Structure 1
């Protein structure tokens, strides 16, 4: 790719990443729930979804969402339902060190956190439409296969976003010990964040 064009893409991506959004909110919610490790694995999963969307954009499949109201509505509904389900489950969960009757909520494994992040990334139709609108100005048909250029640009954005969200998780994770004393309330706050994200996605327009 042209070095100047790639540099412009890096600057544009950095500016976009710094804008607070649902992905950062999800990473912070997971960090408050399970610590730095949980936030980082969630960030990795989210950006694997980003990479998939970039690849689909390069293959032209994301254009389907731009043309089809039904496809957009179905994907949006699935994503909203998944976020609401996770938020309600977190709201009802017991703290890991609870002394109340009944078993404590188990700590999520890295694979589970990654898959949850991946599903959240994949089930967000806004990401697909974003790539359809954002990538074309940085593509050049004379410089090789467009799908490969999309994969490179999407991978760059995913890497930058993973690094940024992991840094956020590390900062918030250091502040968790005081939070753990109020962990039940923390779980409920994190659950409300996920429920809010689900409702936000449910009412989003194209």
Structure 2
């Protein structure tokens, strides 16, 4: 297995990065906040999202196979996630048409604790993250992978998630980009909120279908 691990790691790293390119709830949450608050007002979201991904990776390492047998708990997580997305989305869709203030004061930005909690909640209340890491690490790394190798892969993926999200909000926060967004910021926020609510509604619909 030692000889195969480098190639398995490269396959895992590639699959993980490709998945990051597919927009999900975390992406639209970041876009909605970074468009108005720029890097300083959304960097905490990036940390929270990375921490949430890290916790799910840790669960996979210590035995998510056992935890996922509790279907009731998994359903509860899905329900909480759907309600959470609807709650965040409802705030964004109520954005008012107003020009973006290019010189915001510190008080106008969300606090760091609020940013981190929002990001952490977004990542943890999306059970697809758990299934994704479970499938990725078990199928690509195989049953003979060591704890050290699993940990190295986990640290790599959390680092990539954090770097990617920070790069995204940094680009959105560039002065040139902000100038272009100034007059349409409320449309972007409403659009991001609508997508988040659509994700939440779809999860609720799927839960209703499976229980009927």
TMscore range, shorter length: 0.7 to 0.9
Q: Using structure 2 for the length normalisation, give the TM-score.
A: 0.76
- What is the match of residue 172 of structure 1? 172
Q: Distance in 1 between matches of 2:179 and 2:206?
A: 36
Is residue 2:21 matched to residue 1:18?
yes
Q: Distance in 2 between matches of 1:156 and 1:97?
A: 39
2:99, 2:183 within 8 Å by CA — same for their partners in 1?
Answer: no
Is residue 2:135 matched to residue 1:128?
no
Q: Distance in 2 between matches of 1:96 and 1:117?
A: 25
Q: Distance in 2 between matches of 1:109 and 1:179?
A: 23
Is residue 2:161 matched to residue 1:197?
no
Ranges in structure 2 where 5+ consecutive residues have no aligned partner: 101-106
Q: Give the aligned CA root-mean-square deviation in angstroms.
A: 2.9
Ranges in structure 1 where 5+ consecutive residues have no aligned partner: 99-104
- What is the match of residue 79 of structure 2? 77
Deviation at 1:44, TM superposition (A): 2.2
Deviation at 1:141, TM superposition (A): 6.1
1:90, 1:187 within 8 Å by CA — same for their partners in 2?
Answer: yes
- What is the match of residue 67 of structure 2? 64
Relative distance call for 1:96 and 1:47 in structure 2 (3 A) is farther
- What is the match of residue 103 of structure 2? none
- What is the match of residue 51 of structure 2? 48
Which secondary structure does the structure 2 equivalent of 1:38 belong to? coil
Relative distance call for 1:106 and 1:85 in structure 2 (3 A) is farther
1:44, 1:162 within 8 Å by CA — same for their partners in 2?
Answer: yes
Which secondary structure does the structure 1 equivalent of 2:64 belong to? coil
* Stretches of 4+ aligned residues off by more than 6 angstroms: 95-98
1:23, 1:46 within 8 Å by CA — same for their partners in 2?
Answer: yes
Is residue 2:46 matched to residue 1:33?
no
Deviation at 1:82, TM superposition (A): 1.1
Q: Distance in 1 between matches of 2:15 and 2:94?
A: 40
1:62, 1:128 within 8 Å by CA — same for their partners in 2?
Answer: no
